[in-house]
Amino acid sequence: AQSVTQLDSHVSVSEGTPVLLRCNYSSSYSPSLFWYVQHPNKGLQLLLKYTSAATLVKGINGFEAEFKKSETSFHLTKPSAHMSDAAEYFCVVSDPAYAGNNRKLIWGLGTSLAVNP
């Protein structure tokens, strides 16, 4: 069965320091993986996605993630945190091969990122 584990429920960094949000997954197939961000009182926005092309994926706002099949990980990183990065981040795995090729999305519980001045 598929699953997604976001290893930290809360991460706190200082402005200008690196960000690392960790995500491990399990999947029986070749999954697609996504990171979404949710700012307070705003909708979910796609940061980046991996769909079996390059293993290092660059997203918006300077974020990137690396797909590591051997470690079943898809950690999100950013070299230098900005105050505006404070938000909730969700890792999502999408498996193919369900009836009629309909996707099944599994969402992590989220990591709350705080950025201190």
Partner 1 sequence: KAGVTQTPRYLIKTRGQQVTLSCSPISGHRSVSWYQQTPGQGLQFLFEYFSETQRNKGNFPGRFSGRQFSNSRSEMNVSTLELGDSALYLCASSLRTDSTDTQYFGPGTRLTVL
Kindly list the residues in this chain that would bind partner 1 in the complex (CB under 8 A).
Answer: 31-32, 34, 36, 42-46, 49, 51, 90, 94-96, 98, 100-105, 107-110
Three-state secondary-structure class, residue 10: strand
CB of 45 to partner 1, least distance (A): 7
The single residue listed with the structure tokens 């584990």 is: 5
What is d(CA 76, CA 19) in angstroms, rounded to the nearest whole number?
8
CB of 18 to partner 1, least distance (A): 26
Check: CB of residue 109 under 8 Å from CB of residue 9.
yes
What is d(CA 110, CA 2) in angstroms, rounded to the nearest whole number?
17
Check: CB of residue 71 under 8 Å from CB of residue 17.
no
CB of 89 to partner 1, least distance (A): 12
Nearer to partner 1, 7 or 107 (CB): 107
CB of 72 to partner 1, least distance (A): 17
What is d(CA 24, CA 39) in angstroms, rounded to the nearest whole number?
23
